[in-house]
């Protein structure tokens, strides 16, 4: 349903039958992973005017992977991560890749 690089790739689906008999497939809720369970691979200090998609493009080679940075920093509103210049952002692997390894930044 979703590309392997999507944050929703591993989220299971469910179905519901509506009163009119139609069946609707939907995604179950996606919970943020515990950041301490993610394998850290670096850190980034935010500069004035930086955007999360630009940081993701440099760190992961893909601006659409900004969700990884948001997950690693437990951000519900990702734009808040770049609002204060000087903030240190944790860069981590996604939960699926982190399951087998420990934090490489410690």
The CATH class of the 35-98 domain is alpha beta
* pTM of the predicted structure, to 2 decimals: 0.74
Q: How high is the pLDDT of residue 16?
A: 96
Instruction: Bin 91: left if φ > 0, else alpha if -120 < ψ < 50, else beta.
Output: beta
**pLDDT for residue 103 is more than 50:** no
Please, which residues have CB within 8 angstroms of residue 86's CB and are 6 or more apart in sequence? Answer: 45, 46
Q: Single out the residue of 51, 65, 61 nearest to residue 94, CA to CA.
A: 65
User: Quick one: average pLDDT of 37-44?
Assistant: 92
| Sign of CA pseudo-dihedral 97, 79, 31, 65 | negative
**Which tens digits make up the pLDDT trace of 42-90?**
999 999 999 999 999 999 999 999 999 999 999 988 889 999 899 999 9
Sketch the domain layout of the chain as residue ranges.
1-31, 35-98
State residue 44's pLDDT score: 97
């Amino acid at each position: 349903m979703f590309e392997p690089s999507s944050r929703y790739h591993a989220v299971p689906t469910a179905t519901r039958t509506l009163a009119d008999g139609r069946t609707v497939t939907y995604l179950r809720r996606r919970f943020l992973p515990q950041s301490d369970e993610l394998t850290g691979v670096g850190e980034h200090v935010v500069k004035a005017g930086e955007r999360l998609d630009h940081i993701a493009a440099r760190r992961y080679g893909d601006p659409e992977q900004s969700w990884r940075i948001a997950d690693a920093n437990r951000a519900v509103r990702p734009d808040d991560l770049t609002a204060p210049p000087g903030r240190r952002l944790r860069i981590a692997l996604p939960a699926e890749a982190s399951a087998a390894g420990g934090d490489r930044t410690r």
